[in-house]
Amino acid sequence: MGGNLQKKFISFYEMAIIGNLPDIKNFTNEVEQQFANAGKRRINIDPGYVTHAQMVLATTKDYTHRIYLGKGIYADLTYICREKVFHTLEWTYPDYRKKSSLDFFQRVREKYLQQMRAEVGSRK
């Protein structure tokens, strides 16, 4: 994608349905193509999800540790949670290994846990 790359992580307040991840990734692939210049991507959008136990990214590339979800999309386990903290794995992308990345997704995990507790509490 060239030099001078910039990365931004975003999280949405409203939780997505995990089963929709293949459709979401295929949509983001279309968006990437819309912004491409001479067939080369200018943006890269990596949707995924966070749970209490893990962070998963969606990808079109198969590999030994990736699980096929359907519609040409695989789940890439990026972080696992041990002792309430996310940890990288041997295949975690270098930019997701950075402390700032881990910190961001740890905050997302904490927000997710708050939302889940509130949802369970509202059902009582």
pLDDT in tens, 39-91: 899 999 999 999 999 999 999 999 999 999 999 999 999 999 999 999 999 99
Number of domains in the chain: 1
Q: Is 83 left (phi over 0), alpha (psi -120 to 50) or beta?
A: left
pLDDT per residue as tens digits for the range 9-46: 999 999 999 999 999 999 999 999 999 999 899 999 99
Q: Taking the complete model, does pTM exceed 0.75, yes or no?
A: yes
Using 50, 70 and 90 to split pLDDT, how confident is the model at 1? low
Q: Is residue 60 part of a domain?
A: yes
Cβ neighbours, 10 Å, residue 109: 22
**Cα separation, 48 vs 19, whole angstroms:** 11
Cβ neighbours, 10 Å, residue 92: 20
| 65 half-sphere exposure, CB direction, 13 A CA radius | 10
Q: Is residue 34 part of a domain?
A: no
Domain of residue 63, residue span? 47-123
